[in-house]
A and B are shown apart, each in its own frame.
Chain A
Amino acid sequence: MKIALLDYGAGNVASVERALHRLGAESNRAAFPSDLANANRIILPGVGHFAALIRALDERRLREPLMTAIRRGIPFLGICLGLQALYERSEEAPGLAGLAIFAGEVRALPSNVKLPHMGWNRIRVSRRSELLHGLSEQDYFYFAHTFAATESSSEVVATCDHGAQFTVVLQKENIFGVQFHPEKSGAAGARVLRNFLRLAA
Chain B
Amino acid sequence: MSPAHRIIPCLDTEGGRVVKGINFVGLRDAGSPTQLAERYNAEGADEVAVLDIAASREERPTFLETIRNVAEKLAIPLTAGGGIRSLEDARSVIGAGADKVTVNSAAVVRPALLAELAHEFGSQAVVLAIDAKREPLEGDEPSGDHWDVLIRGGHQSAHLDAIEWARKGVAMGAGEILITSVDRDGTRSGFDVELTSAIARAVSVPVIASGGAKIPQHFVEIFDAGGADAALAASIFHDGVQPIRQLKEFLAQQGIEVRLRC
Check A119–B46 contact: CB distance below 8 A: yes
- Residue numbers in B under 8 Å from A181 (CB-CB): 77
Given A120-B46, A140-B262, does the pair A12, B99 have CB atoms closer than 8 Å?
A: yes
Asked if A197 is at the interface of the complex by the 8 Å CB criterion, the answer is: no
Q: Mark A123-149, 1 if CB is under 8 A from B, else 0.
A: 000000000000000111011111000
Q: Which of B119, B125, B230 contacts A119 (CB 8 A)?
A: B230
- Residue numbers in B under 8 Å from A140 (CB-CB): 4, 259, 261-262
The CA-CA distance from A146 to B174 in the complex, in Å, is 13
Q: Which of B4, B77, B120 has the most C-beta atoms of chain A within 10 angstroms of its own C-beta?
A: B77
The CA-CA distance from A143 to B204 in the complex, in Å, is 17
Check B76–A142 contact: CB distance below 8 A: yes
The CA-CA distance from A122 to B261 in the complex, in Å, is 10
Q: Which of B46, B71, B259 has the most C-beta atoms of chain A within 10 angstroms of its own C-beta?
A: B259
Q: Is the interface of A mostly helix, strand, loop or mixed?
A: mixed
Give the size of the chain A interface in residues (CB under 8 angstroms): 40
Least CB distance from B68 to A in Å reads 10
Asked if B137 is at the interface of the complex by the 8 Å CB criterion, the answer is: no
The CA-CA distance from A47 to B117 in the complex, in Å, is 13
Chain A residue at minimal CB-CB distance from B1: A161
- Residue numbers in B under 8 Å from A116 (CB-CB): 122-124, 175-176, 205-206
Check B121–A120 contact: CB distance below 8 A: no
Q: Is the interface of B mostly helix, strand, loop or mixed?
A: loop
Q: Which of A122, A142, A185 has the most C-beta atoms of chain B within 10 angstroms of its own C-beta?
A: A142
The CA-CA distance from A15 to B46 in the complex, in Å, is 16
Asked if A188 is at the interface of the complex by the 8 Å CB criterion, the answer is: yes
The CA-CA distance from A162 to B121 in the complex, in Å, is 22
Asked if A118 is at the interface of the complex by the 8 Å CB criterion, the answer is: yes
Q: Which of A49, A116, A146, A185 has the most C-beta atoms of chain B within 10 angstroms of its own C-beta?
A: A116
- Residue numbers in B under 8 Å from A120 (CB-CB): 3-4, 6, 46, 259
The CA-CA distance from A184 to B47 in the complex, in Å, is 9
Check B124–A146 contact: CB distance below 8 A: yes
Q: Which of A49, A161, A185, A190 contacts B122 (CB 8 A)?
A: A49
Least CB distance from A12 to B in Å reads 7
Sample (28) of A-B pairs whose CB atoms are under 8 Å apart: A14-B71, A14-B95, A18-B97, A47-B125, A48-B120, A49-B122, A116-B123, A116-B124, A116-B205, A118-B3, A118-B176, A119-B206, A120-B4, A120-B6, A120-B46, A121-B3, A138-B261, A140-B259, A140-B261, A140-B262, A143-B3, A144-B99, A145-B124, A146-B124, A162-B1, A186-B41, A187-B75, A188-B262
**Among all A-B residue pairs, the 4 with the closest Cβ atoms:** A119-B3, A161-B1, A144-B124, A48-B122
Give A contacts to B, CB under 8 Å.
12, 14-15, 18-19, 22, 47-49, 111, 113-122, 138-140, 142-146, 160-162, 181, 183-190
